[in-house]
A = this chain, B = another copy of it.
Amino acid sequence: MSAGDDPRPPRQTADADRHLEETPLGGEWVYDGALLHVRRDTVRLPDGGSATREYVVHAGAVLIVPVLDDGTLVIERQHRYPMNRVFVEFPAGKLDPGEDPLFCGQRELQEETGYTAREWAHAGAMHLAVAYSTEIIHIYFARGLTVGDQQLDHEEFVELTTVTPAQLLDWCRDGTVSDAKTLTCTLWLQNVLSGAWTLDWKSADFPRAAS
C-alpha cells in the first residue's frame, strides 16, 4: 500500500516502540456511507505474522466546555439513536474538511447553543475509540458567553440546560453522565477549577490559520 492510499494519520511511532508497530500491507474501503467510512486493512504484526484491522476513518471533531459568568456550564441533552436513549453531553461537532479546530469550535458552539464566547482556551485532545476509529476530539474551553439563537441542522434536536460543576461531577459519579467525551472533559474541568491544570485563554479574535 502506498502512502497516498493510507487514510490514517501520519506515523508517530518512536524508534523505541518499533517492536510494537503494526504496518499496512494493503487494504480497501468496505463501506462508504453518509456518516461512516469503514476500511479493512491487512497488517504485518510485530512478530512477522499478519492480521486484519477494520476501522472507521473519521474527520475529527471539536468539543467545547462553555463556562457562563456565574460558573455554571452549558450542556446539551440529545437522543442518540445507536444507544436508544438521551445523553447529557458538552456541545461538540465534526470538523469540516480542512477546518481549523478553533474555528470549528466557535461555529459549533454558536450553531448548537446560540452562544458566542469572548475568550477561548485550547485544553487538549482525546482519541475516542482507538481500537476502531481514527477520531480525534479537540477540547476547548469558552468563557465570556453571550446568548443568541441556536441554528441547528435540520436533523439535530438538542435541548440546552445549565449545570454547576459540582452537579456535573455528581452526574458523572451516579451514571447520569456516561458519554466518554463528556466524562473526559469533566476531568479537565475538575483540574482547571482546582488550579492543578492551567489554561492559556485568548481573545476570540486572535489570529488563526486560514481555514
Contact = CB atoms under 8 A, between A and B. Distances in A.
A33 B33 contact: no
26 contacts: A13-B79, A13-B85, A13-B86, A14-B86, A17-B77, A20-B77, A22-B79, A24-B81, A33-B52, A35-B53, A36-B54, A38-B38, A46-B79, A55-B82, A56-B56, A56-B132, A126-B179, A128-B180, A129-B129, A129-B135, A173-B197, A180-B180, A184-B184, A187-B190, A190-B190, A190-B191
A204 interface: no
Chain A interface size, under 10 / 10 to 19 / 20 to 34 / 35 or more: 35 or more
Contact of A187 (B41, B54, B132, B183): B183
A interface secondary structure, majority: mixed
How many copies of this chain?
Answer: 2
Most chain B CB neighbours (cut-off 10 Å) among A9, A41, A49, A86: A86
Most chain B CB neighbours (cut-off 10 Å) among A12, A31, A136: A31
B129 A133 contact: yes
B197 A8 contact: no
A43 B25 CA distance: 38
B130 A83 contact: yes
Nearest to A10: B84
Interface string A19-61: 1111010000011011110101101011101011111100000
